[in-house]
């Protein structure tokens, strides 16, 4: 039998096949080792990215919650301090007649002889000083038995809740604060101050009392409900603990009649109000009256049974945390995915030597394009971010200016105005106490001083009205502009006409009306200072899908290219920024000798229903 291979060659061929197998094993082992190392590196990298992402998420969660708690603490402390100051101011007002010998003698004379019209008028003069304060909606003069002898408004009923506190006020001979109660006549929620009438020696029982009923809707409720410009989601309400329940003392957004009508039993341990009433203070977690989870700051108001709850929905706090969590997962997953793909490419690169250069070039190009795209996106994002920051800063500056104006007006009203009123009352009483033998020069000097005080009060009220007329919130923009136009004409002798030809009477949002009023003030100030005009006009009219406000004068005008380009003309910059803050288009048109026209355009979707 003939063989294909001789015997001596068979061994060589077989040995050659074995050598080939031996030579292939190191390459396969190296590939296998490379794959294992790549997988281990991928797992290590994935674990590191996951750990970094988790740590970043936990830090963000901690910082977000801490920031929310800091906001709650700051806002709560500010409001608690304001409530404390409010109580102090109210009690200070009442203290003007507590242990006041002059008032004691006047009331004593009236009680002794009720037919003495002079004594009655003097007492009414004191009481009317409190009646002029918007917060005191009823003022009563009571005798020692609690019978109403004089009332402002005349005939207004005295609540039994006040009458019940008379024995305690007589016993302690101090001003008595009557906490929230419901009037029997109209179910209206009020507070009150009961002032014993003493001669100043504290040796005798009071001959009577003055009851000052407080309307919380004037100052207290708006202050508690007021939101900050930096965090409008934070809200506040007042509670007090009663037998077995927690009673709410301020209205809710969706429960305007909540005061003294809503309560929570003390066994509702998850309710934040219950926790606060049971003595827990500081940051609390729980639910509100409707069962919605909230994060709250609870603190007691010194000198009162009130507890202030400042809170924010926990869902609102957790929303950015959830978004960051899912964002972290997406980013970390994307990085891990790209890392795994990179390692796969590296491993495959050893098997695709031929395409190495092309693959590297393509990968380099892809990475360059991706980096360029990322840098471009980052640059665009930075530009948008800086633009928004500048706009936010501008809005914040306008808000701070508005807040300072309101604080100054409030300070003038609460402190200076009350002091001037007290001075005028004292001057009036001193004048009445003078005898016929008193020097005529002294009478003239007292009358002259009283006139100066009244003139000062009038000027102060004009200044406060210029800051922010109270009628703006009540009656709206057009009546306020008409009133302001009359004041402007009196001050400058420049006739000003206000016309509103709009067909839609819908009120604009209050912040929009305030912005338009401030722009009008600035524009008319420029007219009075520089325009040398003999006529000015303000027009509100419809213009298609927008509302147009036109402020015009027939003055000497100016060159817009010169004036508007100069940085020293802050008036136009301020008007432009205020217009931007209320989303209004601003345009100033003028030329030398042809007057000046300010145009403001607001689109109608910014309008809100009229207030009730």
Report how many domains make up the chain: 2
What residues pair up with 243 in beta bridges, in sequence order? none
Which pLDDT belongs to residue 394?
Answer: 60
Domain boundary among 419, 440, 468: 468
Name the residue among 550, 582, 551 with its Cα closest to residue 398: 582
Which pLDDT belongs to residue 401?
Answer: 62
Both 441 and 486 in one domain: the answer is no
Q: Is 432 inside any structural domain? A: yes
Which pLDDT belongs to residue 21?
Answer: 46
Condensed to tens digits (0 to 9), the pLDDT of residues 532-587 reads 999 999 999 998 888 999 999 999 998 888 776 665 567 788 888 889 988 899 99
Q: How far apart are CA 304 and CA 307, in angstroms?
A: 8
Q: By residue range, what is the domain housing residue 454?
A: 377-468
Phi-psi category of 398—alpha, beta or left, where left has phi over 0 and alpha has psi -120 to 50?
A: alpha
Q: Is 516 inside any structural domain? A: yes
Q: Is 582 inside any structural domain? A: yes
Which pLDDT belongs to residue 417?
Answer: 65
Does a cis peptide bond (omega within 30 degrees of 0) precede residue 153? yes
Condensed to tens digits (0 to 9), the pLDDT of residues 349-370 reads 766 774 565 667 678 888 888 8
Both 440 and 477 in one domain: the answer is no
Which pLDDT belongs to residue 240?
Answer: 92
Q: How far apart are CA 274 and CA 245, in angstroms?
A: 8
Which pLDDT belongs to residue 410?
Answer: 65
Q: How far apart are CA 307 and CA 272, in angstroms?
A: 11
Low-confidence ranges of the chain (pLDDT < 70): 1-25, 27, 202-203, 229-231, 347, 350-351, 354-359, 361, 387, 390-399, 401-402, 404-406, 408-415, 417, 458-459, 461-468, 505, 564-569, 605-612
Both 508 and 595 in one domain: the answer is yes
Q: How far apart are CA 482 and CA 373, in angstroms?
A: 56
Both 385 and 452 in one domain: the answer is yes
CA separation, residue 59 to residues 46, 52, 336 (Å)? 20, 11, 21
- The DSSP annotation for 444-472 comes to HHHHHHHHHHHHHHHHHHHHHHHH--THH
Which pLDDT belongs to residue 392?
Answer: 66
Question: Which residues make Cβ contacts (< 8 Å) with residue 445, sequence separation at least 6?
Answer: none
Both 526 and 437 in one domain: the answer is no
Both 492 and 519 in one domain: the answer is yes
Which pLDDT belongs to residue 584?
Answer: 92
Q: Is 586 inside any structural domain? A: yes
Q: Is 56 inside any structural domain? A: no
- Asked whether the beta carbons of 181 and 159 are under 8 A apart, the reply is yes
Question: Which residues make Cβ contacts (< 8 Å) with residue 39, sequence separation at least 6?
Answer: 343
Q: Both ends of the chain: CA-CA distance in Å?
A: 120
Both 442 and 544 in one domain: the answer is no
Which pLDDT belongs to residue 133?
Answer: 86
Both 491 and 461 in one domain: the answer is no
Both 481 and 602 in one domain: the answer is yes
Q: Is 76 inside any structural domain? A: no
Domain boundary among 446, 468, 490: 468
Phi-psi category of 129—alpha, beta or left, where left has phi over 0 and alpha has psi -120 to 50?
A: alpha
Condensed to tens digits (0 to 9), the pLDDT of residues 410-441 reads 666 566 767 777 787 777 778 777 777 778 87
Both 519 and 602 in one domain: the answer is yes
Tell if the pTM clears 0.85, that is, is over it: no
CATH code (residue 484): 3.30.565.10
- Asked whether the beta carbons of 210 and 140 are under 8 A apart, the reply is yes
Both 484 and 594 in one domain: the answer is yes
* Helix residue spans in 470-606 (DSSP H): 471-475, 477-492, 510-526, 560-563, 570-581
Pairing state between β 176-182 and 148-152: unpaired
Both 569 and 483 in one domain: the answer is yes
Domain boundary among 427, 452, 468: 468
CA separation, residue 224 to residues 302, 452, 555 (Å)? 16, 37, 47
Q: Is 103 inside any structural domain? A: no
Q: Is 486 inside any structural domain? A: yes
């Amino acid at each position: 039998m003939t063989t294909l291979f001789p015997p001596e060659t068979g061994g060589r061929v077989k040995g050659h096949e074995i050598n080939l197998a031996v030579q292939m094993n190191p390459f396969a082992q190296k590939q296998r080792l490379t794959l294992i190392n790549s997988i281990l590196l991928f797992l290590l990298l994935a674990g590191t990215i996951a750990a970094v992402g988790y740590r970043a998420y936990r830090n963000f969660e901690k910082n977000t919650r801490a920031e929310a708690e800091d906001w709650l603490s700051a806002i709560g402390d500010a409001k608690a301090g304001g409530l404390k100051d409010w109580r102090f101011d109210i009690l200070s007002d009442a203290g003007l007649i507590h242990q006041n010998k002059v008032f004691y003698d006047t009331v004593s004379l009236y009680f002794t002889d009720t037919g003495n019209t002079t004594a009655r008028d003097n007492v009414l003069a004191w009481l009317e000083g409190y009646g002029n304060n918007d917060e005191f909606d009823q003022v009563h003069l009571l005798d020692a038995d609690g019978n109403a002898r004089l009332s402002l408004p005349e005939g207004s009923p005295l609540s039994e809740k006040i009458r019940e506190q008379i024995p305690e006020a007589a016993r302690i001979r101090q001003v008595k604060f009557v906490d929230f109660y419901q009037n029997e006549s109209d179910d209206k929620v009020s507070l009150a101050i009961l002032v014993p009438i003493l001669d100043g020696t504290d040796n005798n029982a009071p001959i009577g009392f003055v009851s000052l009923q407080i309307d919380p809707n004037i100052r207290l409720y708006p202050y508690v409900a007021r939101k900050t410009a930096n965090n409008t989601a934070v809200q506040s309400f007042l509670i007090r603990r009663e037998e077995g329940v927690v009673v709410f003392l301020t209205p809710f957004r969706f429960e305007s009649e909540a005061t003294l009508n809503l309560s929570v039993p003390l066994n509702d341990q998850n309710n934040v109000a219950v926790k606060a009433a049971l003595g827990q203070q500081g940051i609390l977690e729980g639910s509100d009256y409707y069962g919605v989870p909230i994060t709250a700051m609870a603190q007691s108001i010194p000198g009162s049974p009130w507890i202030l709850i400042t809170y924010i929905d926990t869902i609102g706090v957790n929303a950015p945390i959830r978004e960051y969590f899912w964002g972290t997962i997406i980013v970390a997953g994307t990085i891990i995915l790209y890392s795994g793909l990179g390692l796969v490419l590296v491993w495959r690169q050893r098997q695709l030597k031929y395409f190495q250069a092309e693959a590297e070039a393509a990968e380099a190009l892809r990475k360059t394009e991706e980096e360029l795209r990322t840098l471009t996106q980052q640059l665009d994002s930075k530009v948008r971010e800086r633009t928004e920051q500048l706009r936010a800063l501008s809005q914040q500056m306008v808000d701070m200016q508005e807040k300072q104006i309101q604080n100054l007006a409030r300070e003038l009203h609460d402190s200076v105005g009350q002091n001037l009123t007290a001075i005028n009352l004292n001057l009036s009483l001193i004048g009445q106490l003078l005898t016929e033998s008193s020097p005529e020069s002294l009478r003239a000097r007292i009358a002259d001083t009283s006139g100066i005080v009244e003139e000062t009060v009038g000027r102060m009220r004009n200044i406060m009205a210029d800051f922010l007329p109270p009628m703006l919130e009540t009656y709206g923009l057009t009546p306020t502009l008409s009133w302001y136009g009359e004041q402007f004409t009196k001050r400058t002798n420049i006739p000003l006409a206000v016309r509103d030809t709009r067909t839609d009477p819908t009120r604009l949002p209050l912040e929009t009306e305030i912005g338009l009023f401030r722009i009008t003030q600035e524009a008319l100030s420029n007219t009075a200072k520089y325009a040398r005009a003999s006529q000015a006009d303000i027009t509100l009219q419809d213009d298609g899908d927008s509302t147009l406000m036109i402020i015009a004068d027939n003055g000497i005008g100016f060159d817009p290219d010169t004036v508007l380009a100069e940085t020293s003309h802050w008036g136009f910059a301020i008007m432009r920024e205020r217009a931007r803050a209320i989303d209004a288009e601003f345009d100033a048109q003028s030329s030398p000798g042809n007057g000046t026209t300010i145009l403001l355009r607001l689109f109608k979707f910014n309008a809100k229903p009229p207030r009730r």
